[in-house]
Every structure is written in C-alpha cells, then in structure tokens.
Chains A and B, each alone.
Chain A
Amino acid sequence: MNTYAALMLFQHAYDPQAPVHGAPWLWFSIIKILVVFTVLMVTIAYLTLAERKISAWIQDRHGPNRVGPRGLAQPLADGLKNIMKEETYPSAAYSPLFILAPVMSFIPALITFAVIPFAAPLPTPWGLVDMSIADLPVGFLYILAIASLGVYGIVLAGWSSNNKYALLGGLRSSAQMVSYEVSMGLAVVAVLLLSGNVSLSSIVASQVATGWYFFPLLIGFFLFLVAAFAETNRLPFDLPEAESELIAGYHTEYSSMKFSMFFIAEYSNMTTASARLTTLFFGGWAVPFWTTVDTAPWHWWKTVITLVCFMIKTGFFLFLYMWIRWTLPRFRYDQLMSVGWKVMLPIALCYLVVMAGAILALDAAGVAPSARFGDFVPTYWAILGVLNIVLAVLVFVVLDRGRLVSPASARVGPSELAELRAMATRGPAPAQGD
C-alpha cells in the first residue's frame, strides 16, 4: 500500500462532524495551547499600548507616538527596557516567596483561558476540533476556582517584600478579593439556573438557542461586571496599588521583569475577565441574528466569523475597562468594603432567590425555553428580561447615590453639614479668640 492510499484510508476512518479523538486530538490540543498562548501574550503587549492611547485620547493628548509608525512598536521597546533594567532584591525580603510571587500572580491569570470557547468548532479531516483548549465538564467551576487563586501572588508579594506599604497593599487586595468573590459566585449561579449545565460550551449553546443572558439576567450581569473590576484590581477598585497612599502597593519593591510580570498578570486578568463576561452573558462566540453561523453543520468559515465576533465582544469589554479607568475616581477603603458586603452581597442573594422563583414559575406555567413569541422574540427570555428591568428600577430607587456609597460627608452630622455648606458659600468663618 503506498502512502497516499494509507492517508486516504486514514481520512475515511474519521467523520469531519464527529469530535476528534485519539492521536490527532493530542496534536490539535498542543497546537491550540501554543496558538492561544502566543495570541494572548501579543494581545496583552498591545493592550498596554491601547491603554496609553485611550488614556491620551480621553485626556486630549497624543500618547506614545515615537517608536515605530504611530507608536506601534512601543510595547516592544517597553519589553526590552524591562528586560535590560537592573533587578533589585531588598536585603530584608524573604527571597523564595519574593521571587515566586510574580509567577504566582501570572500563572492563574493565563490558565483560565484554557476553558473558554473562543469560536465555533472547526471540522478537519480528522474530526471536529473544539475551539477551546479543554472543554471541561466543570468549566465554569474551574473558572471560579482559578480566579480565586489570583490573590496569592499579590498577597505574597506584599508580605515577602517586608515593606509596610507593600504589606498594606497585599492585605487590602486579599480582603477585597475575598469580599467580591462571594458576590461574583452568587451572581453567576443565575446563569447556571438558566443554562442547566456547568460546561461553558453548553452555556454558549443554550444562549444560541434561547437568547443571550445579559437581558434575562441584567442585574446578575451588572453584579458580575462590578465584581470583575474588583477582582482584577482595576479602577475604581485599585486600592491595593493606590499611588497616593501606598506608593505602588504590593509591587513597590519590584523592578524590571518581575514588576513587568505583575503588569502582564493584570492585563491578562482583564482579558480573561472580558472573555468570561462575553461567554457567560453575551453568547460567547455566537453571532447575533444569524442562526446559520451559530449551529451545526460546522464549516471553517463559520469558525472564522465566530472567532472575529468573539474578539470584537472581548475587545469591547477591554475598552470598557480602560474607559472606566480614565473616568471614575478610586473608592475609599471603607466604601469599598461596604459596597462589597452591605450592597453587592445582599442584592446577589435576593436576586438569586427571585430568579430561581421566576424560573420555577415559568417552568410550572409550561413556558418552554425555546418557545418564541411571534416567531421572533424568545418568550422565556423576554419575560425574565422585563422582570429584571423592573427589579433594576426598584434597586436604583432604593439605593440612591447617597446610600450606595457613603458620601464624604457621611460621618458629619446634619447640622455640621449645613454649617460646612454655608462656609463654602461665604468663605471661612472668623477664627475664635482673634
């Protein structure tokens, strides 16, 4: 038998629409790991440039424009600079953990991407290749588990530096992440209630079938968004590295590439959080209003289109991160804690009870999740969405701005406040005893 005949026989043993298995599965997995890692690292490098360009645009400046055409080679120059810089080791630092800490913040940020489905499955002669590195049956829990590990790197960096500012940064971040992790987990339980499965590919598939979850789970989406900002330590939640109070927080003592690793970890956390938001609430790789692309039989052009769609959605959330960073000021620490425990957590708990009740009621009333009103609007989706809008209005009425985040005047009595206001309008009162 010649080689060609053997190859043909080999090809016919596999169905392009059936999942790939055996040795080709292993090869495809390795290729996917390499490609995803490379793309992610390049994206992160260019996110640093995007952040500076967007901040410049928001502040009406030019931003970096000297290295390469329109400053496009700036990330390269930054990388080179960080590698060439001197590495400092504080003499009083606990060196094993001091060196380990950047690695420990870097790795969890990257491995979350392993379970995120980034495009429709790709048919090959060897079978259907899933466009996620590993479609774990517990994909969703895996994301929560890995997200909860990100805090180690920051805490250990703060502790092992043996520096008061770094330690305070580390303590703040651990308190913050533990607080917001709870509401984040509770907010997405609603997603599981709707999809009925914890694997991410089936969450995407059920969003294709019944409509994207951001509308029927509007409040859950908002809670998740806020918690995602808190978990990534981005403004307005960047207290662990508040410059005005803590110099640079947990990475005060770090220089050159070790500092750069914290930086990369932050940006890869942002990318992962954006991908998570896309997958859980915005249909993952699904293209809106085009069911042909989102369903089997699969074809390579469907993979390409859905990949682009996934990138656009994730890119939007990345832009949102930067947009908010250059728009909102930082929380005060007590405000951060009270938002986490006194506002987010009770809302998440109540929301879960209400949504579970609503879904139970809809199921009891016999509304099928795939039923469509007037052949176009999914009934289930629309009813839950309207319920969410009503709830959102209620939440905003109950939590006006003065209660949501205690204003700067919260610890001042009403009479003193009136006095302060009067002072502000007519200037300071004459000092006593003069």
Chain B
Amino acid sequence: MPNGFVYEFLFYLFGLTAIVSAAIFVTRRNAVAAALWLVNTMFCLAALYIMMDAQFVGAIQVLVYAGAIMVVFLFVVMLLNLGLPPSVADIKSKGARIIALVAGLAMLAELLVLARQKLPAELPWLPRETSVTTPITEPLFRTYLLPFEITSVLLLVAIVGAVVLAKRRS
C-alpha cells in the first residue's frame, strides 16, 4: 500500500483542488467558464482514483466525463449563449430560493452523516498480478450481467425518446 509524505501531499493537493474547483464552478456566471471548472474537478477525481490504484476507473473518468460528456455540454452551452458573459437564467423568485436552501441543507446533513460513518479498519486490496480490468469486468459481465444489460436498454430507450421529442417539435 503506497504511503508516506508524497502520497499524502498529492492526496491533499488533488482533493483541495477538486473542492475549490467545484466551489468556483457553482459560483461562475459565465456558463463556459463554469463548465471548465467542472472539468478540472473531474480531473482531480480521476487523479484520486489513480492514487487509490483504481487506474481503470481513473481513465474512464477522464474518457467519459471530461472527454465526452463535458464536450457535449460545452457544445450545447456555446450554441445557447453566443454572446460574452451570458446572463444565465438565475433563480429569482423567493419560493424557489427557499426550496434550493432546504435541498442544500438536506445534502449537507447527508454529507455530515456519511462523514461520521466508520470505515472498515482494513480495506481489501486486490492482488496486483490480475489485469486492471478484471476486477471490474468479472462482476459486470458475470455476476451482474442482467442488470447491466437492462441498464443499456434503458439508455437506448432514453435516446429513442430524445429523438422522438426532437422530431415532434420541428
């Protein structure tokens, strides 16, 4: 298990950067800048995964979130706001603000409860001889094959639904 000063330093570096970027992300008014701060958070999370020896998850984090989903987000944001510092539709009414506050407090409470949970004293470490993909593919394609395939059908249904909605409008 990797330990020592360098490991700890990198953990706090990436952890703090992730949190600070996330905070900046929610406070930006410029949607494109906000999206980029979110990308930065994703990168820090990927780095943290890799430090935990979950290299496959780290690579997928970058590939799927930073590389695919955020690019599509950016694409849409750019099409929506062609001007400079665009005025994103802020929540203006008092009722909506109260709802947002309550939801935020609920999430904070959830976080605090989770933070107080005790972790198992020793986390199981997989032997290094196995390939990095095996610990993920084994359960995914053997133990949980049916739920996995059902999820993919769900995604297909969502895509078909989106196409139908887009066609109806035009």
Contact = CB atoms under 8 A, between A and B. Distances in A.
Interface stretch (A145-153, A289-297, A302-310, A392-400): A145-153
Contacts of B67: 144-145, 147-149, 181
B63 A141 contact: yes
B107 to A, nearest CB: 29
Interface residues of A, number: 32
B45 to A, nearest CB: 13
A155 B75 contact: yes
A148 B70 CA distance: 11
Interface in A19-49: none
Given A96-B33, A167-B78, A149 B62 contact: yes
A141 B59 contact: yes
B79 interface: yes
Interface of A: 92, 94, 96-97, 136-138, 141-142, 144-149, 151-152, 155-156, 159-160, 162, 167, 170-171, 174-175, 177-178, 181, 197-198
A177 B71 CA distance: 10
B22 interface: no
Given A141-B56, A141-B59, A178 B33 contact: no
Given A145-B66, A148-B63, A160-B32, 8 more contacts: A97-B36, A145-B62, A148-B66, A149-B66, A151-B71, A177-B71, A178-B72, A197-B131
Contacts of B30: 94
- Provide the main secondary structure of the chain B interface: helix
B79 A171 contact: yes
Given A138-B55, A149-B62, A159-B32, A198 B131 contact: yes
Contacts of A146: 62
Interface of B: 30, 32-33, 36, 39, 55-56, 58-60, 62-63, 66-68, 71-72, 74-75, 78-79, 82, 84-85, 131-133
Given A138-B59, A144-B63, A145-B63, A170 B78 contact: yes
A254 to B, nearest CB: 18
21 contacts: A96-B33, A97-B32, A97-B33, A97-B36, A136-B55, A138-B132, A141-B59, A141-B63, A144-B59, A145-B60, A148-B63, A149-B62, A152-B36, A152-B71, A152-B74, A155-B71, A159-B32, A162-B84, A174-B75, A178-B68, A198-B131
A142 B68 contact: no
B132 A137 contact: yes
B84 A92 contact: yes
A136 B133 CA distance: 13
Contacts of A144: 59, 63, 67
Contacts of A177: 71
A159 B131 CA distance: 42
A167 B82 contact: yes
Contacts of B58: 138
Of listed A149, A175, A181, residue having the most chain B CB within 10 A: A149
A181 B68 contact: yes
Nearest to B63: A145
Contacts of A138: 55-56, 58-59, 132-133
Contact of B68 (A96, A148, A155, A197): A148
A196 to B, nearest CB: 8
B33 to A, nearest CB: 7
B128 to A, nearest CB: 9
B33 A137 contact: no
Nearest to A202: B131
A162 B75 CA distance: 15
B72 A198 contact: no
A181 B131 CA distance: 25
Of listed B63, B72, B132, residue having the most chain A CB within 10 A: B63
B131 A175 contact: no
Contacts of A152: 36, 39, 71, 74
A288 to B, nearest CB: 28
B21 to A, nearest CB: 14
A229 to B, nearest CB: 19
Contacts of A170: 78
Contacts of A97: 32-33, 36
Nearest to B132: A137
B71 A178 contact: yes
Contacts of B79: 171
Nearest to B82: A167
Nearest to A164: B82
Contacts of A149: 62, 66-67
Of listed A138, A148, A152, A162, residue having the most chain B CB within 10 A: A138
Nearest to A159: B78
Contacts of A137: 55, 131-132
A141 B74 CA distance: 23
